[in-house]
Structure 1
Amino acid sequence: MEPTLDHYKISCELLGHSLDVRAVAAGGNAEGAGQIIVSGSRDKSTKLWKPISGNEYIESVTLQDHKNFISYICYLESEQWICTASNDATICVYQHDAFVPLITLKGHESTVCALAGGLQARSIISGSWDKTARVWLISETGDVTFVTLQGHEAAVWAVATESAQQKYITGGADKCIYYWNARGEKLRLLKGHTDCVRGLIPLPANSLLSCGNDAVLRFWNEDGECVRELNGHTNYIYAIARNQALGEHIVVSCGEDSTLRMWNVITGDQLGAPILHPAISVWSVACLRNGDIVTGCSDGVVRVFSQDPARQATESVRASFEMAVNTHKAQLSEDIGGVKKTDLPGPEALLSNGTREGQTKMVRHVDGSVKCYSWELGKWSLVGDVTGATGGTQETSGKKLHEGKEYDYVFNVDISDTEPPIKLPYNRGEDPWQAAQQFIHRNNLPQAYLDQVANFIVKNSESAPVVATQSTAGYQDPFTGGSRYVPGSSSSNVGGSGNMDPFTGSSSYSTSSSQRPSNIDVNFVSASDKHFPVSTYRTFDTCDANKVLEKMKEFNNKLTSAEGKVGDELLLAVIRLTDKSPEVDPTALEALLLLLKWPPGMLFPVLDVVRLAVRHEAIFSLLHNSHNFLSSVIPQLSGAAANQLMVCRCLANALTHRSGRQQLETQLPHIVELVSGIRAGSPNLQIAIATFYLNLTISQTLSVAQSEVCHVVTSGLLELLKWAKDLEAWYRAMQAIGNLTTTPCGQEVIALVVSVDHVMDKLRELTNTPQDENFAKVNMVGQALLAVF
Structure 2
Amino acid sequence: MEPTLDKYKLSCELLGHSLDVRAVAVGGKAPDGEGQMLLSGSRDKTTKIWKPIGNEYIESVTLQDHKNFIASICYLPQEQWICTASNDATICIYQQDAFVPLLRLKGHESTVCALAPGLKPRSLVSGSWDKTARVWLVSETGDVTHLALQGHEAAVWAVATLAEQQKYVTGGADKCIYYWNAQGEKLRLLKGHTDCVRGLIPLPGNSLLSCGNDAVLRFWNEDGECVRELSGHSNYIYAMARNQQLGEHIVMSCGEDSTLRMWNVLTGKELGAPLLHPAISVWSVACLPNGDIVTGCSDGVVRVFSQDPARQANKQLLQSFEMAVSTHKSQLNEEIGGVKKTDLPGPEALLSNGTREGQTKMVREADGSVKCYSWELGKWNLVGDVTGATGGTDANSGKKLHDGKEYDYVFNVDISDTEPPIKLPYNRGEDPWQAAQTFIHRHNLPQAYLDQVANFIVKNSEAAPTTTRQANSGYQDPFTGGARYVPGSSQSQVQGGGNMDPFTGASSYSTTSSKQSSGVDVNFVRGSDKHFPVSSYRTFDTCDAGKVLDKMREFNAKLTSAEGKVGDELLQAVIRLTDKSPTPDPTTLEALILLLKWPAGMLFPVLDVIRLAVRHEAIFSQLQSNHNLLSHIVPQLNGAAANQLMVCRCLANALTHPTGRQQIQAQLPQLVELVAAIRAGSPNLQIAIATFYLNVTIAQTLSVASSEVCQPTTTGLLELLKWAKDLETWYRAMQAIGNLTTTPCGQETIAQVVSVDYVMDKLRELTNTPQDENFAKVNVLGQALLAAF
Normalising by structure 2, report the TM-score. Answer: 0.58
- In the aligned structure 2, how far is the partner of 1:357 from the partner of 1:258? 34
How far the C-alpha of 1:363 sits from its partner, in A, is 3.9
Match of 1:5 in 2: 5
8 A contact 1:260–1:274 mirrored in 2: yes
SS at match of 1:160: strand
Match of 2:46 in 1: 45
8 A contact 2:295–2:303 mirrored in 1: yes
Quickly say closer, same or farther: Cα 1:373–1:153, change in 2 above 3 A. farther
- In the aligned structure 1, how far is the partner of 2:465 from the partner of 2:163? 72
8 A contact 2:157–2:171 mirrored in 1: yes
SS at match of 1:316: helix
- In the aligned structure 1, how far is the partner of 2:367 from the partner of 2:204? 41
In the TM superposition, 1:670-749 aligns within 5 A as: 681-682=770-771, 724=779
Most deviating of 149-158 and 444-453: 444-453
SS at match of 1:28: strand
Match of 1:596 in 2: none
Quickly say closer, same or farther: Cα 1:433–1:471, change in 2 above 3 A. farther
How far the C-alpha of 1:135 sits from its partner, in A, is 1.3
8 A contact 2:431–2:463 mirrored in 1: no
Match of 1:783 in 2: none
- In the aligned structure 2, how far is the partner of 1:433 from the partner of 1:679? 18
- In the aligned structure 2, how far is the partner of 1:20 from the partner of 1:527? 59
- In the aligned structure 2, how far is the partner of 1:157 from the partner of 1:47? 23
In the TM superposition, 1:301-380 aligns within 5 A as: 301-348=301-348, 362-372=362-372
- In the aligned structure 2, how far is the partner of 1:425 from the partner of 1:233? 36
Match of 1:461 in 2: 463
Quickly say closer, same or farther: Cα 1:270–1:429, change in 2 above 3 A. same
What per-residue deviation string (whole Å, max 9, x for no partner) do you get for residues 431-489 of structure 1? 8667446646888977764553356558963599xx997699x9xxxxxxxxxxxxxxx
Match of 1:22 in 2: 22
How far the C-alpha of 1:512 sits from its partner, in A, is 4.2
Structure 1 counterpart of 2:51, which letter? K
- In the aligned structure 2, how far is the partner of 1:333 from the partner of 1:528? 58
Match of 1:219 in 2: 219
Quickly say closer, same or farther: Cα 1:354–1:243, change in 2 above 3 A. farther
In the TM superposition, 1:440-589 aligns within 5 A as: 449-450=449-450, 452-454=452-454, 461-462=463-464, 512=719
How far the C-alpha of 1:22 sits from its partner, in A, is 0.7
Match of 2:288 in 1: 288
SS at match of 2:310: helix
What per-residue deviation string (whole Å, max 9, x for no partner) do you get for residues 390-421 of structure 1? 32357976x74445977574264665899999
Match of 2:592 in 1: none
- In the aligned structure 1, how far is the partner of 2:433 from the partner of 2:769? 7
Match of 2:261 in 1: 261
Quickly say closer, same or farther: Cα 1:169–1:451, change in 2 above 3 A. farther
8 A contact 1:407–1:426 mirrored in 2: no
Structure 2 counterpart of 1:279, which letter? A
- In the aligned structure 1, how far is the partner of 2:772 from the partner of 2:345? 34
Quickly say closer, same or farther: Cα 1:451–1:87, change in 2 above 3 A. farther
8 A contact 2:358–2:771 mirrored in 1: no
Quickly say closer, same or farther: Cα 1:393–1:186, change in 2 above 3 A. closer
SS at match of 1:319: helix
- In the aligned structure 2, how far is the partner of 1:361 from the partner of 1:216? 29
Quickly say closer, same or farther: Cα 1:231–1:396, change in 2 above 3 A. closer
Match of 2:603 in 1: none
Structure 2 counterpart of 1:44, which letter? K
Match of 1:410 in 2: 409
Quickly say closer, same or farther: Cα 1:185–1:62, change in 2 above 3 A. same
Match of 2:506 in 1: none
Quickly say closer, same or farther: Cα 1:463–1:527, change in 2 above 3 A. farther
What per-residue deviation string (whole Å, max 9, x for no partner) do you get for residues 739-767 of structure 1? xxxxxxxxxxxxxxxxxxxx7x65441x2
Structure 2 counterpart of 1:186, which letter? K
- In the aligned structure 1, how far is the partner of 2:349 from the partner of 2:753? 58
8 A contact 1:433–1:680 mirrored in 2: no
- In the aligned structure 1, how far is the partner of 2:383 from the partner of 2:455? 25
8 A contact 1:358–1:441 mirrored in 2: no
Quickly say closer, same or farther: Cα 1:270–1:321, change in 2 above 3 A. same
Match of 1:238 in 2: 238
- In the aligned structure 2, how far is the partner of 1:530 from the partner of 1:345? 49
Structure 1 counterpart of 2:409, which letter? V
Structure 2 counterpart of 1:250, which letter? I
Match of 1:618 in 2: none
| Structure 1: gaps spanning 5 or more residues | 475-491, 519-524, 539-644, 650-677, 687-719, 728-758, 768-789
SS at match of 2:327: helix
Quickly say closer, same or farther: Cα 1:302–1:407, change in 2 above 3 A. closer
8 A contact 1:17–1:301 mirrored in 2: yes
- In the aligned structure 2, how far is the partner of 1:420 from the partner of 1:306? 55
Quickly say closer, same or farther: Cα 1:296–1:413, change in 2 above 3 A. closer
How far the C-alpha of 1:311 sits from its partner, in A, is 0.8
- In the aligned structure 1, how far is the partner of 2:49 from the partner of 2:190? 36
Structure 1 counterpart of 2:252, which letter? V
- For these two proteins, the number of residue pairs brought into alignment is 535
Most deviating of 157-166 and 351-360: 351-360
Structure 2 counterpart of 1:202, which letter? P
- In the aligned structure 1, how far is the partner of 2:214 from the partner of 2:228? 15
How far the C-alpha of 1:316 sits from its partner, in A, is 2.0
What per-residue deviation string (whole Å, max 9, x for no partner) do you get for residues 494-533 of structure 1? 999999999xx999x9954996599xxxxxx998999989
| Structure 2: gaps spanning 5 or more residues | 467-494, 503-520, 523-530, 535-675, 688-715, 726-749
8 A contact 1:501–1:684 mirrored in 2: no
8 A contact 1:32–1:289 mirrored in 2: no
How far the C-alpha of 1:263 sits from its partner, in A, is 0.8
Match of 1:781 in 2: none
How far the C-alpha of 1:365 sits from its partner, in A, is 2.5
SS at match of 2:342: helix
How far the C-alpha of 1:370 sits from its partner, in A, is 2.5
8 A contact 2:383–2:499 mirrored in 1: no
SS at match of 1:290: coil
8 A contact 2:385–2:498 mirrored in 1: no
SS at match of 1:16: coil
8 A contact 2:154–2:173 mirrored in 1: yes
Structure 1 counterpart of 2:452, which letter? Q
- In the aligned structure 1, how far is the partner of 2:17 from the partner of 2:341? 25
8 A contact 1:24–1:294 mirrored in 2: yes
Match of 2:279 in 1: 279
- In the aligned structure 2, how far is the partner of 1:122 from the partner of 1:371? 44
SS at match of 2:92: strand
Match of 2:185 in 1: 185
Structure 1 counterpart of 2:463, which letter? S
- In the aligned structure 2, how far is the partner of 1:296 from the partner of 1:74? 14
Q: How many percent identity over aligned positions?
A: 71
Match of 1:81 in 2: 81
In the TM superposition, 1:85-96 aligns within 5 A as: 85-96=85-96
Quickly say closer, same or farther: Cα 1:378–1:217, change in 2 above 3 A. farther
8 A contact 1:387–1:405 mirrored in 2: no
- In the aligned structure 2, how far is the partner of 1:66 from the partner of 1:304? 26
- In the aligned structure 2, how far is the partner of 1:273 from the partner of 1:723? 56
- In the aligned structure 2, how far is the partner of 1:468 from the partner of 1:449? 30
8 A contact 1:240–1:252 mirrored in 2: yes
Quickly say closer, same or farther: Cα 1:501–1:167, change in 2 above 3 A. farther
Quickly say closer, same or farther: Cα 1:357–1:243, change in 2 above 3 A. farther
8 A contact 1:41–1:300 mirrored in 2: yes
8 A contact 1:363–1:371 mirrored in 2: yes
Match of 1:386 in 2: 386
- In the aligned structure 2, how far is the partner of 1:369 from the partner of 1:379? 21
